[in-house]
Amino acid sequence: MAKALLLENIHPDAAASLRAHGFEVETRKGALSEDELIEALEGVDLLGVRSKTTVTARVLDARPTLTAIGCFCIGTNQVDLEHAAKRGIAVFNAPYSNTRSVVELVICDIICLMRRIPAHTHHMKHGLWDKSASGSHEVRGKTLGIVGYGNIGSQLSVLAEAMGMRVVFYDIEEKLAMGNAHRCDTLDELLEQSDAVTLHVDGRKSNTGFFGEDQFAHMKQGAIFINLSRGFVADLGALKQHLDSGHLSGAAVDVFPVEPKKAGDPFETALADEDNMILTPHIGGSTLEAQENIGHFVAQRFEDYWSKGSTMLSVNMPVLTLPDLAQGATRIAHLHANLPGVLAGVNRVLGEENINVTAQALGTRGELGYVVMDVDKAPSPTALEALRRIEGTIRMRVIG
């Protein structure tokens, strides 16, 4: 029986789905350190994590029998994807399942900051009745600048425009504008005209420190800043300086360069004493609806990969979408270096045993090749060993 380990309070529907498909499932509430993870992965085939558990090359080398990793979130930067691919470990994520949840929180942050709700709440809690319209604005007619126009940024664009906001966006890739949104040619062009700036960039290493002093300095006087993307993309020290100087009127931060491993751990930030500030503990995608959707989605990717060899939506493997295995058939999934002659070698081994290939699919991704074959009879142990010995073989699985 295959075993799955799910960490970090992944929605229980994921475990229920995996158990219904014949997996043994262990769940744990918090994240694990590198050493703890290596120990916990003994005998484990499938690993599920969220954003706090880091799966390093050392972890992958220590547990080479691990078959797949599921990131029950959008980001995958917590996993060494390249090393996982070299080890033949497929990695999956949920790129769309919590988009709406993140967008709704951004809309909430914009309205609250424009109306100075955090500042008014702080004053009320300390006995100060400050009934004033000073510094409070409607969002209608204001300009929203979206940095990163992917799934979240584009959906945010639609909802913000429905509220009467003018939307501009900047992305390093060509993106189709939604509604009346306007694409800016440079980031500075966006910053200089936006009343609110919100970051929605991905977790690639090149985005580290992407938004710093120069970018904050280019923002409009009295603008607000929002980051619900990655903690390492924005310089929070520079943000504090521009809030303290009165250049920026407010900010909302949901992600931080260093975050606690589990709920209840202590957390400190220099932004805590800012007046018009919203601080949230990385909950952009943390709604019950989103976590349930993510649980179902990634669990399905696990099930399809284990039972069919399907790598649909894998972030580090050649992508093949495969049908269910026919009754009585055997499927061979062969992951290899993308070298000339590998497929010929596979077919030669099968031909020597008079095994007929009834269906075959091949995909490549960079330096990897992945061939999946349905055959009319199970190969002998000798043939399986010959397949494993083919030059460039990374991992081979027999399904069915």
24, 192, 259, 367: the active-site residue: 259
Marked catalytic residue, from 115, 242, 282, 334: 282
The answer to whether residues 109 and 118 touch, using CB atoms and an 8 Å cutoff, is no
Nearest to 173 by CA among 208, 202, 216: 202
Residue with tokens 């270096």: 337
SS3 257: coil
User: Which residue among 87, 115, 230, 336 is the active-site one?
Assistant: 230
User: Known catalytic residue: 259?
Assistant: yes
Distance from CA of residue 106 to its chain's centroid? Answer: 18
End-to-end CA distance of the chain: 13
Specify whether 83 is catalytic: no
Structure tokens at 69: 């990793």
Residue 108 CA: distances (Å) to CA of 46, 57, 113, 273: 37, 39, 9, 21
Q: In what side-by-side order are the strands of the sheet with 166-170?
A: 182-183, 166-170, 143-147, 196-199, 224-227, 250-253, 277-279
Is residue 189 annotated as a catalytic residue, yes or no? no
The pairing of strands 357-365 and 143-147 is: unpaired
The span from the CA of 315 to the CA of 368, in Å, is 13
CA-wise closest residue to 400 among 308, 321, 320: 308
Residues tagged active-site:
230, 259, 282
